[in-house]
Amino acid sequence: MHSICFQATGVPGSNYIFDSCSPALAISKPINLRFCGLRKEAFGFSGLTHSSSGRVHFSSRGHSKKVSASAESNGSPPKSFDYDLIIIGAGVGGHGAALHAVEKGLKTAIIEGDVVGGTCVNRGCVPSKALLAVSGKMRELQSEHHMKALGLQVSAAGYDRQGVADHANNLASKIQSNLTNSMKALGVDILTGVGTIVGPQKVKYGKVGFPDNIVTAKNIIIATGSVPFVPKGIEVDGKTVITSDHALKLESVPDWIAIVGSGYIGLEFSDVYTALGSEVTFIEALDQLMPGFDPEIGKLAQRVLINPRKIDYHTGVFATKITPAKDGKPVIIELIDAKTKEPKDTLEVDAALIATGRAPFTNGLGLENVNVVTQRGFVPVDERLRVIDTNGNLVPHLYCIGDANGKMMLAHAASAQGISVVEQVTGQGHVLNHLSIPAACFTHPEISMVGLTEPQAREKAQKEGFEVGVAKTSFKANTKALAENEGEGLAKLIYRPDNGEILGVHIFGLHAADLIHEASNAIALGTRIQDIKFAVHAHPTLSEVLDELFKSAKVKAAASSHGPGLSRNIMEEFTYKSKMIVVPEAFYNIVSSFVKLFSKAMQI
């Protein structure tokens, strides 16, 4: 007899529930996985089978992957543990995992060798948003046309550089304190020092000059994040040749700054520097600016964010050598053609910001002690974020989340991965759908996206044999945007006309970073366009941009006869009642199977 609690996913078309989640995979019954809106085929395998050796085989198209549950010979795992979970790295990912672990009743410790909050809070998304808040206000106050359209008269706008820098620093300090206090209040042990894996389920930590401490845990999560990537030939002095770490301190506002790289980091800093009076030159290795964005959105963003501002650019070139300013000489940048490698140009500027992306911070983790070798610095993991050793086998009880695994280098993705791992180690099978995780660039206006770009969707469609539909709506038709005099913007939906599946959504416009979550949640829950178009949005709000976008899609499939809510209600009712009673497991399995099948039928 068991006290049963059935957990419903509410995911249309998905009935994959993980029954037993032993990290060591010592499993004696079939495995079913919950895929959070993605069918199992989307992960490249069709199921799991067992061999007599106790290993698990992932069946896939044309090949199989062998996973071992046995520990390597690098020491024996302890018989008792100091903690249920140890997390190496107290950034946003580690913090999210720690809080969820405590909520699940796990005794948890987090090891941090630097400062709580990691890159995002101290040297990334938090202080940069403070600078961008200033640049947004400055840009608005400096636009005479914008002010006049609203009937406002403003004298010349100015700023205090140190005051702006203090605003960014104070915000980072406040958030860092909040994160620390939240973990302490919940009973998370914060262990200060550099964490190193010394064997199965064993970690040492300590400071230079002090004895090391060794702690053990049933499960370990690596969450060490990343650092700015600086290509060879570039000399960073922290003053005139800088990374984003230095730029966030805003120790100076140069008259002319070159930004190497036109991705998220480069675009956001171009917004800050131009608002504060700098001239900017982009240096981009690819043939177009903003190469990671949907091409149509990127083209519109360039027309609004680049062309009207004091920004010029060089595309299709590498900066092979950058020399800092010294002895009265400017920063010298040597450019070569990205394809022919022939010398192209030499620039002389006041400063250079290296925004060429980030590299995983995984050196010194002791991965060799568990037979793991990084790939370009990234820790290899499977779809459930379990670490893979050099033989292709799983390292028992060891996981890696966030920038260190390279799956999606975003702070909120790291947090989501951490929560997913905690779900697994507490017996709730969970695989995170990375296609449902949104991203945003906080320029003015903002850019946001989730899922596939149009070229990616068409490539997928060609391989799998389905059509792609595209729908668009303009901010110029939105009452709230026009009231704000911010009608410049576009929302784009990429979808399957045959079944209404949302493949991707891209937004450029006012508060795009906030608007994207309706689409990302729809993808995560597997909600189809034919159902979501009946959702009601308050008027007048910017959310109506998404409302009109979904309504404009031409879907051949009919809406669910009772809407997507009925099957979820049945699942929720069953979940609620199952918590209140004690039933035989066999009876529970029969009823839960019936509910899942009925729910799936209601989605068809």
Catalogue the active-site residues: 539
Please confirm whether the linkage preceding 254 is cis (ω < 30° from 0): no
Distance CA 132, CA 126 (A): 10
Measured in degrees and rounded to the nearest 5, phi and psi for residue 366 equal: 80, 25
Size (the chain), residues: 604
The token duo for 118 is 């990691």
The whole-angstrom separation of Cα 82 and Cα 72 is 21
Type of residue found at 293: F
Angstrom distance (rounded) from CA 459 to CA 466 = 10
Number of Cα atoms under 13 Å in the Cβ half of residue 138: 20
Bond prior to 540 in cis (omega within 30° of 0): yes
How many CA atoms, within 13 angstroms, populate the side-chain half-sphere of residue 563?
7
Q: How far is residue 190's CA from residue 91's CA, in Å, rounded to a whole number?
A: 12
- Decide the pairing of beta strands 64-67 and 83-88: unpaired
To the nearest 10 degrees (0 to 180), the angle between helices 92-103 and 411-425 is 30
Q: Residue 445: is the preceding peptide bond cis (ω within 30°)?
A: yes
> Is-contact 383 401, C-beta < 8 A?
no
By the 8 A CB rule, do 290 and 263 touch?
yes
Cα Dmax for the chain: 82
DSSP state of 595: H
Computed from CA positions of residues 271, 309, 229, 325, in that sequence, does the dihedral angle turn out positive or negative?
negative
Token couple for 273: 């520097």
Whether the Cβ atoms of residue 469 and residue 553 lie closer than 8 Å to each other: yes
Please name the residues in contact with 370: beta carbons below 8 A apart, sequence gap of 6 or more: 72, 74, 197, 199, 200, 387, 389, 395, 398
Name every residue whose Cβ is closer than 8 Å to that of residue 191 and which is 6 or more positions away in sequence: 109, 110, 111, 112, 205, 213, 215
Residue spans of beta strands (DSSP E) within 173-237? 189-192, 194-199, 202-206, 213-222, 226-228
